[in-house]
Amino acid sequence: MPRRRFIKSVWVAIISISLIEISAVVIAFLTSGGRKARTLKETKLKVLGKVEDFASGSVTAFRSDRLYLVRLDDGGFLALSLHCTHLGCAITWNKDKNEFECPCHASSFNVNGVVNSPPAPRALDLYPLKIEGGLIKADHHNVIKRNKFNKSQLTYA
Ligand code: FES
């Protein structure tokens, strides 16, 4: 075999083996990522309580989970992040004023999490809720950013 042809064959073999190895690594990465994502998604749900534990028109703080569970007058639930959308300070619920207030720069939000007064640039973030077997479960690691409120954001029993 001429030298030039031999070198070409070696290069073709090296490139072929490299492509096979890269493909195997990519496939392994993609499939393991999917399993990991499913596992995390399944374990992220946090039980907040029974549906009947939360009266219509109530706001309940879950500070360790970084959220407020709001049950509107029509029975719909919202899980609002307790972090202000301005610079992330923890908001508090002012029952007398019926609004969330930020102690840092005085932003306020209505019960749906919509900005009443700036500098907060947008509505409070949401966490997905799921109601199963009468239990309210929040995915408090999966933040939904939004600009405004609409009824599709509510979760009903
Ligand atoms: Fe809330 Fe600035 S961090 S108003």
Does residue 84 line the site of ligand 1, with CB under 6 A?
A: yes
CA nearest ligand 1 atom 3, residue: 87
Ligand 1 atom nearest 119 alpha carbon: 4
CA of 95 to the centre of ligand 1 (A): 19
Residues in the chain with pLDDT < 50? 34-40
Termini Cα distance of the chain: 77
Strands (E), 20-155: 45-50, 58-62, 67-71, 77-81, 92-94, 99-101, 108-109, 115-117, 129-132, 135-139
Q: The sheet that has 135-139: what strands, in order across it? A: 45-50, 135-139, 129-132
Report CA 56 to chain centroid distance, whole Å.
Answer: 24
- For ligand 1, pick from 87, 91, 124, 125 the residue to mutate: most ligand atoms within 8 Å of CB: 87
Peptide bond into 2 cis (omega under 30): no
Encode pLDDT of 27-58 as tens digits.
665 655 544 444 445 557 899 999 999 999 99
Q: What is the pTM of this model?
A: 0.72
